[in-house]
Amino acid sequence: MANALCRSCRHPLQHVFVDLRTSPLSNNFLRPEQLNQGTAYYPLRVFVCGNCLLVQLEQFESPQEIFEEYAYFSSYSSSWLAHAKQYVDAIIPRLSLDRSSSVVEIASNDGYLLQYFIPHNIPVLGIEPAKNVAKQAEAKGIPTVSEFFTLAFARQLARERGTADLIIGNNVLAHVPELQDFVAGLKELLSPTGTLTLEFPHLLRLMENNQFDTIYHEHFSYLSLLSVSHLFERCGLTIYDVEEWPTHGGSLRVFARHSEHAKLTVTPRVEKVRLEEIAYGLKKVRTYFRFPAQVKAVKEEIYRFLFQASRENKRVAAYGAPAKGNTLFNYLGVGTDYIDYAVDKNPYKQGLYMPGSRIPIYSPERIRETKPDYLVILPWNLKDEIEKELHYTRQWGAKLVVCIPKLEIY
């Protein structure tokens, strides 16, 4: 990344956080007719900014290339839907939202969250660049604009529809290459007394729990409260509250306001998380250099398990075909030599092949038909939900496997 600049503060990038070799785009699943074609691989080398401490990837593909047609539908996870409903039930009274309010969600996916505002007659608007996913939201009766969120688009929305009392962005900030423009757009669209809430996986948990498989090309940034606070302050926004959630292996939900709207006072929780990050060492660049050794240790554990299972002629299948699974298999360099197949509840992925590893994806019924000896749960963040779903596999003595933060077979 010669002469590359930090996407948050424009400081030259010099420090490597971790190098995961090369990988195809994680959501570029292959159709059967594409198996005879070559696959584009891109470096998965991650940097940490020595100035603002933002952990970030190089950009190889435009967001248009990655997100205009998207294979991830939020509504296939019951625990994520419950999380979304819980948020709506809490935020309406907290911000005194009613039918005169305006709520906008950026990267609103298939309407998984905004649907819970509808029974309260609160006006909502979804912004979802993936046209195939936006159609699903429209079918649920959720007004959705299929556009990428930028400062220019925020200005247009504010002109045409007015500003928003609540702007929501769940797991979108990490997906944005032009961070300064995006955050300036949030400020532009937010009403003078409005609140912005953003959720994102917490870099501290990624480092603590070896979550290297969450690194892939559509995640341009890996976020801490420290790095996001730097970014927001430069754009005239202040984080006034933060909540810690177990979603996606450990996430932060930050509440932000215009810096000049000091009526919303900063809660002690902001300082608590900030001090926890400092205690872990996130203010010191050298702390970030420990990560590659952790990744290597997990990699060796997984190799040993797969090699032993293969020697014993055990059948191994994967449950779920998430983007993180593609990072894991491509970093390990394994395919159908070790993993027979994957299953996924999302019909959009069934009949396709995982990029790079070319492991075929079936519907979950395939498990009953083939009775594998081991099932590797790739979406480990949904482990509890999936474990209940797979209870029937105990009938033939199948074992479940989780690879992150360390190999567990049970």
Q: What is the pLDDT of residues 359-391, one digit of tens each?
A: 999 999 999 999 999 999 999 989 999 999 999
- Partners of residue 401 on adjacent β-strands: 376, 409
Structure tokens at 336: 């159908």
The answer to whether 160 and 141 have CB atoms below 8 angstroms apart is no
* Residues of the chain by 3-state class (helix, strand, coil), percent to 5: 40, 20, 40
- Rounded mean pLDDT, 124-140: 94
% pLDDT > 90, the chain: 90
Residue 3 pLDDT more than 90?
no
Provide the pLDDT confidence category of residue 27 given band limits of 50, 70 and 90.
confident
Please tell me whether the peptide bond between 43 and the residue prior to it is cis, using omega within 30 degrees of 0. Answer: no
Residues 171, 173, 175, 181: what is their CA dihedral angle, to the nearest 10 degrees? Answer: 150
**Type of residue at 336:** T
Q: Select the more confidently predicted residue: 71 or 23.
A: 23
Structure tokens at 382: 């949904």
> Nearest-CA neighbor of 116 among 82, 154, 147, 67?
82
Structure tokens at 409: 């077979």
Fold category of 66-288 in CATH: Rossmann fold (3.40.50)
Q: What is the pLDDT of residues 53-111, one digit of tens each?
A: 999 998 776 666 655 555 566 667 888 999 999 999 999 999 999 999 999 999 999 99
On average, the pLDDT of the chain sits at: 95
pTM listed for this prediction: 0.92
Provide the pLDDT confidence category of residue 239 given band limits of 50, 70 and 90.
very high
Structure tokens at 338: 């070790």
Residue 175 pLDDT more than 60?
yes
- Rounded mean pLDDT, 335-341: 98
Residue 257 pLDDT more than 70?
yes
Distance, in Å, from the CA atom of 281 to the CA atom of 198, rounded to the nearest integer, reads 24
Residues 125, 130, 133, 138: what is their CA dihedral angle, to the nearest 10 degrees? Answer: 30
The answer to whether 322 and 29 have CB atoms below 8 angstroms apart is no
Helix axes 323-332, 291-311, angle to 10 degrees: 80
- Rounded mean pLDDT, 247-274: 96
Q: How many other CB atoms sit within 10 Å of the CB of residue 112?
A: 26
Q: What is the pLDDT of residues 299-333, one digit of tens each?
A: 999 999 999 999 999 999 999 999 999 999 999 99
% pLDDT > 70, the chain: 96
Structure tokens at 354: 């995982």
Structure tokens at 304: 């040993």
Which superfamily does 291-409 belong to?
A: NAD(P)-binding Rossmann-like Domain (3.40.50.720)
Q: Where are the domains of the chain?
A: 66-288, 291-409
Q: Do domains 66-288 and 291-409 have the same CATH topology?
A: yes
Among 36-40, 56-60, 113-117, 231-235, the least confident range: 56-60
The reported pLDDT for the residue numbered 1 is 46
Phi, psi at 404, each rounded to 5°? -125, 135
Quick one: 132 exposed, middle or buried, by C-beta within 10 A (0-12, 13-18, 19+)? middle
